[in-house]
Amino acid sequence: MADKDKGMPSVATQHTRSESGSGPDVEVGQVDPSAQDYGWERGLSPRAVIMLSLGGGIGLGLWIGTGTALSAAGPAGCAIAYMLVALAIYIEFLSIGEMTCYKPISGGYIRQGMEYVDKAAAFAMGMNLWFSWTMTVPAEIIACINVLQYWEAPRNFPMAAYITIFAIVSAVPNLFAVKKYGSVEIVMSSLKVFSILSTMCFLFIMASGGLPSQEGPLIFHYWKNPGAFNNGIKGICRALLQAAFSCPSAGWVAIVAGEMKDPRRTVRRSVNPLFWRMFVFYVVNIWLIGMCIPYNHPDLQGSGTLASPFILAIRDGGSPVFAHIINGLVFITVLSCGITSYYVASRCLTHIADLDIIHPWFGKKDAAGRPWLSLILSGLLGGGLTYLNLNNTSAQVYDWFSNLVGVSSFCNWFLIYVAHIRFRQGLKAQGIDYKTLPFRDRFAPFSQYLGLVLIILFLVAQLYFAIFPFTGKPSAENFFSTYITVPLFLLDYLLYKFWFKTKIVAPKDMDFTPAKYFDKIDEDEKEAERLDPTPKKSVLGRVWRFRTAIV
């Protein structure tokens, strides 16, 4: 294993850096995090990061997965599942936002797990994170193929050719320098936002009875007939798993912290409005779709956008042309999510190596900061698994991957909450007032304890679902395809801890030194603002700035 102090500058180096005039002034004893960036290039602009936070994880889980959840649990059960998962993810956003904003350096919450909990926990989390994002790549490639089945012409194209084409297209943007990759994500996320908002407007009009083909408002008509719930608690368990796959995690915000420009301000601007984004894109969407389509709609049992409740509602609402347009946008959305998944998967594996948790060989990068070895390994595994689709139905393979990713997400969220609780304990032990943090969760640690309770309930519910499947008799195949990530997660932690004899990090030993570098930058900016105040914005300017909270 490599030296644990790899990348840590000496005090003399820090002092010389300051005297040379390169970068902000840093006093002796402070650590310039650029020396801990392990070859990453800070090329992601604030706009790219904010757009990533808005649409980076939105893919077929939202467009089609909601149909799976709706048919399994009914509109009320589906709404309950998505609201619970949205609450858990929002707590995750707050936890990661607070820790990352204080120390926005490379390593993400893998590093946070190592520095605030235990190196074995960081290994389990890192491998689980890499696994889940790598599994998302084939899930989204399969989804791209399913979306095209909406039109008749592409249905006769060879499956192997589709897989090869989409695997290559997902990989190519990741070969660019990070600045160019950020530009691609800005365009893709903008299209995602447009497609979601335009669909929501249509569904709202449809629920209100504003379409010419309707006889009156729908409102809660389908909650009464065929009903609000379907399949009881088992249906809600199925919807929970789908919701965990559909709703984007906050993890990538921490993962790309080492590649951000102006990281503290960027993280703060990305996390602050996320409550409203989660509420609008997921909770409101789920309520609207439950009003516009019944859970027993015969086409919900299909595959691809042929089973998308959004497309079905638009088509049944008498707008087939708009349905074709939205399907085209869904295709771009899913392809974008595959690109993002490939990007995050490669960064996860590289960060584990950078932090000396696994062999540093996996962290190799070129001069532009691209982790070429991790890109190759993630691409080969993710793209290779996609070819399983040649021997099974695409719907079945998609369900396998989405189930595995959903359960692995629960494990990661659990450790993030634990890391945040330990982070606060470390601040207290070292006399750092949490009220001085640049961004903080005002309800911590109670919100994290609530998150832990939710995750335990989710995991218990999924264990019940794995033992007693939704359809058919209990089987080993169903258990392993649904729940295998949990025993693997525990096995990773226990084996690493036993082999390397790792210990829980004591609060007094937690390293908050890199934060002093960013504290100094914040102080300098406040002093500059005091000496030369920024002119107050007009009413129109303040309204224009408020748009960033929505879009």
Where is average pLDDT lowest: 118-122, 161-165, 357-361, 462-466? 462-466
Helix (H) or strand (E) holding 80: helix 65-102
pLDDT of residue 25: 42
pLDDT of residue 14: 36
If one compares 259 and 439, the residue with the highest pLDDT of the two is 439
Residue 524: CB atoms within 10 Å: 12
Helix (H) or strand (E) holding 123: helix 119-148
Which token pair is 81? 């599942």
Where is average pLDDT lowest: 22-26, 73-77, 379-383, 461-465? 22-26
Backbone angles phi, psi at 446, to 5 degrees: -65, -35
Q: Are 166 and 145 in contact (CB under 8 A)?
A: yes
**pLDDT-based confidence at residue 504 (cuts at 50, 70, 90):** very high
Contacting residues for 31 by C-beta, under 8 A, at least 6 apart: 8, 9, 14, 513, 514, 516, 517
**pLDDT-based confidence at residue 260 (cuts at 50, 70, 90):** confident
Contacting residues for 421 by C-beta, under 8 A, at least 6 apart: 444, 445, 448, 449
Domain spanning 36-516, CATH architecture = Up-down Bundle (1.20)
Peptide bond into 226 cis (omega under 30): yes
pLDDT of residue 549: 46
Backbone angles phi, psi at 454, to 5 degrees: -60, -45
pLDDT of residue 304: 58
pLDDT of residue 526: 79
Q: Report d(CA 207, CA 220) in Å as an integer.
A: 9
pLDDT of residue 399: 65
Domains of the chain by residue range: 36-516
Mean pLDDT of 52-68: 74
Q: Is the dihedral of CA 85, 87, 89, 95 positive or negative?
A: negative
pLDDT of residue 299: 83
Which token pair is 361? 């060989």
Which of 125, 55, 101 lies closest to 413, judged by CA?
125
Contacting residues for 323 by C-beta, under 8 A, at least 6 apart: 311, 314, 315
Contacting residues for 469 by C-beta, under 8 A, at least 6 apart: 475, 478, 482
Where is average pLDDT lowest: 18-32, 145-159, 382-396, 494-508? 18-32
Which token pair is 477? 């195949």
**pLDDT-based confidence at residue 394 (cuts at 50, 70, 90):** low
**Which residues face 260 on adjacent strands?**
44
Amino acid letter, 503: K
- Average per-residue pLDDT for the chain: 80
Q: Report d(CA 338, CA 137) in Å as an integer.
A: 5
**pLDDT-based confidence at residue 279 (cuts at 50, 70, 90):** confident
Where is average pLDDT lowest: 199-208, 324-333, 404-413? 404-413
**pLDDT-based confidence at residue 498 (cuts at 50, 70, 90):** very high
Is residue 536 pLDDT above 80, yes or no?
no
What pTM value is reported for the model?
Answer: 0.83
If one compares 497 and 18, the residue with the highest pLDDT of the two is 497
DSSP 8-state assignment for residue 290: H
C-alpha distances in Å from residue 350, one per residue of 12, 185, 356, 381: 29, 21, 10, 15
